[in-house]
Amino acid sequence: MKRIVFLSFALIFPLFMIAQRALIDKGDSYYNTYMFDIAKDYYEKALGSIASQSDKAEVNYKLGYCYKMLGNTDKAEMYFGVAVDNYVKGVIKPDVLLFYADALRMNGKYEDAIDIYKQYLQVSPQDHRATSGLESCKLVPKWINRPTRYKVVNVSKFNTMQLDFSVVWASKDYRTIYFTSSREGSMGSRDNYKSGQKFTDIFEVTQDRKGNWSEPIPLAGGINTEEDEGASTVSMKGSDMFFTRCKAGKKVDEPCKIFYSFKKGNAWGEPIMVNITGFYNYEVGYPALSKDDKILYFSAEAPAGYGGMDLYMAERIGTSGYEFGRPINLGPEINTLGDEVFPTVRANGTLYFASDGHKGMGGLDIYKTVTDSLGNITGIENMKYTINSSFDDFGIIFDGDNEKGYFSSNRKGGKGSDDIYEFSLPPLVITLNGLIRDTTDIDNIKLIKDAKISIMNDAGVAGELVSSSTGGFTFKLEKDQNYKVKAEVSTDYF
């Protein structure tokens, strides 16, 4: 009987190993074609039966990468951590340490991330991504302790449990917004296995005179299809639109491209693909028009770039509306080894964009460009906390010259995955608090009540008041003014 059991086990074990290998191989077939949402399912089925350290390291590494690309930072951290613990040289790349540190940073675990970045830099000391990540982990706690004055609120009216992101203005009066969503009502019923969501469409909302927004509806016309449409930009006149379209599926994997459409009446016409010189076989998307509609900014991934997705600009030529000259890379002040995406241009001409390659809080952060008197880009500024978080923050737009607008983020506490947020900068309140004291006798300083106080600015006398019974006074100041304060006491005091 014992021999029969032993022989049965001997037959079952090889079959078990074959089945396990088949699951990993099937996962690899989807992983290698960027179908991460499917690949992860096969890897997780195989994970429980993996015995060898090398297989455990490899599968956990790939699971971590799948969840990294799907935006699930908690699971990415977990799987990358297991892969690091089971690291086998030659089986997985040392960049598992970089990805693990990035996941820790995105989850706000800055001290832990510092340790892992340092480990990685011992292996790859020249990797800018790690040095930037390490420096960021030291900076970010200071930003959080001293947040900007921007108030940020989730716009529940716009958001669902699905993806809702990439807001753009679609009218001069800032009362029409287009945004991208994978919500119910999208034309694409298939799953996008790269994102783990349904394919996206472009939706429209309008604001009435009372400030209330309408229910989102899909754009009328030929823009939306069963493919991925999103990340758009609209001309100042509201008649031209450029947007991103991606074709993907189990049998299709084509680079994303920028398309152009002209508005006819209330509906958008049939889109035309924009042929950008030198980028036909490469990923191109995230268009943004300049204030005068003459320049198109966009992101592209090409061998001649600085890393992942780089930002480029191209000048509009011809009369068709969708022809452009040869693109110009925006250079190393902006582009990094990481991704630079979601460019937007404010009414004052300032270029904003998102990047995961510069010093930041984690994931994509929003940056603005700094220019000299000739308009040349000389540097960038991180928008810091509260606009940025340790998660992905991107696609900011401003309501004209006002310090308010919208952006997108997958930060925790949202309604779904990517959500749309509203931001505003409250008026700056500057209050002068003072005390009137008699210091003629340094050993017996006295607080003076009923002192007459005159406050003068550049225009003259700004206010007159009297000190309290404890010698105190308070006065609200206006910004960008020079002030002088004069205090007088009656002759009876002396």
pLDDT for 3 equals 47
The answer to whether the beta carbons of residues 311 and 299 sit under 8 Å apart is: yes
Q: What is the pLDDT of residue 50?
A: 85
401/303 same-domain check: yes
Same domain, 43 and 164: no
pLDDT value of residue 250: 59
Per-residue pLDDT tens over the stretch 31-40? 998 889 999 9
Query: Is residue 190, in this structure, part of any structural domain at all?
Result: yes
- CA angle 418-424-430, nearest 5°? 145
Selection from 313, 227, 314, 237 nearest residue 271 by Cα: 227
- Segment 77-91 mean pLDDT: 89
- Is 4 part of any domain? no
Average of per-residue pLDDT values in the chain: 90
Q: What is the mean pLDDT of residues 175-194?
A: 81
In the block, which residue shows the tokens 């179908």?
A: 35
User: pLDDT tens for residues 285-334?
Assistant: 999 999 999 999 999 998 889 989 999 999 999 888 889 999 999 999 99
Give the mean model confidence (pLDDT) for residues 406-411. Answer: 97
195 with 416: CB under 8 angstroms? no
Say how far apart CA 153 and CA 367 lie, in whole Å. Answer: 19
Identify the pLDDT of residue 168: 97
Same domain? For 210 and 121 the reply is no
CA dist 34 and 445 (Å) reads 75
pLDDT of residue 51: 80
- Domain-embedded: residue 11: no
Instruction: Say which range, 98-102, 421-425, 445-449, has the weakest mean pLDDT.
Output: 445-449
Decide which of 371 and 154 is more confident. 154
Quick check: 17 pLDDT over 90?
no
Question: CATH no. for residue 33?
Answer: 1.25.40.10
Looking at the structure, tell me whether residues 310 and 250 fall in a common domain: yes
Asked whether the predicted pLDDT for residue 13 surpasses 50, the reply is: no
Give the pLDDT score at 78. 97
Whether residue 116 lies inside any domain: the answer is: yes
Q: Do residue 90 and residue 156 come from a single domain?
A: no
Say how far apart CA 84 and CA 100 lie, in whole Å: 8
What does the pLDDT read at residue 252? 58
Per-residue pLDDT, 243 = 97
Domain count, the chain: 3
For residues 481 and 412, state if they share a domain. no
CATH of the domain at 197: 2.115.10.20
* For range 378-405, the mean pLDDT: 96
Look at residue 427 and tell me whether its pLDDT is greater than 50. yes
Q: Say how many residues make up the chain.
A: 494
| pLDDT at res. 184 | 84
Q: How many CB atoms lie within 10 A of CB 15?
A: 9
Are both 209 and 237 inside the same structural domain? yes
For residue 149, the model assigns a pLDDT of: 95
pLDDT digits (tens, 9 = 90+) for 104-154: 999 999 999 999 999 999 999 999 999 999 999 999 999 999 999 999 999
Q: Which of 403, 424, 445 is the last residue of a domain?
A: 424
Q: What is the pTM of this model?
A: 0.86
Q: How far apart are CA 307 and CA 335, in angstroms?
A: 8
DSSP state, residue 360: -
Q: 217 with 321, same domain?
A: yes
Write out the two tokens for 466.
């009297």
Residue 306: predicted pLDDT: 92
**Residue 488: closest CA among 457, 448, 456, 458:** 448
Range of the domain at 326: 151-424
What tokens does 452 get? 């007459």
- Token readout for 129 is 């991504």
Residue 77 dihedral angles phi and psi, to the nearest 5°: -60, -45
User: Is position 366 within any domain?
Assistant: yes
111 and 252 housed in the same domain: no
Note the pLDDT of residue 194. Answer: 67
Does residue 377 belong to any structural domain of this protein?
yes
Is 465 part of any domain? Answer: yes
DSSP letters of 178-213? EEEE-STT-S--SEETTTTEEPPEEEEEEB-TTSPB
Q: What is the pLDDT of residue 18?
A: 61
399 and 456 part of one domain: no
Note whether residue 7 is domain-resident. Answer: no
229 and 368 co-located in one domain:
yes
pLDDT in tens, 457-492: 999 999 999 989 998 999 999 888 999 999 998 877
Of 113, 145, 177, the last residue of a domain is: 145
Single residue among 121, 145, 169 that ends a domain in this structure = 145
Q: Are residues 103 and 160 in the same domain?
A: no
* pLDDT on residue 2: 46
User: By the 8 A CB rule, do 457 and 478 touch?
Assistant: yes
Contacts of 122 (CB under 8 A, 6+ apart): none
Q: Please state the rounded mean pLDDT for residues 263-268.
A: 89
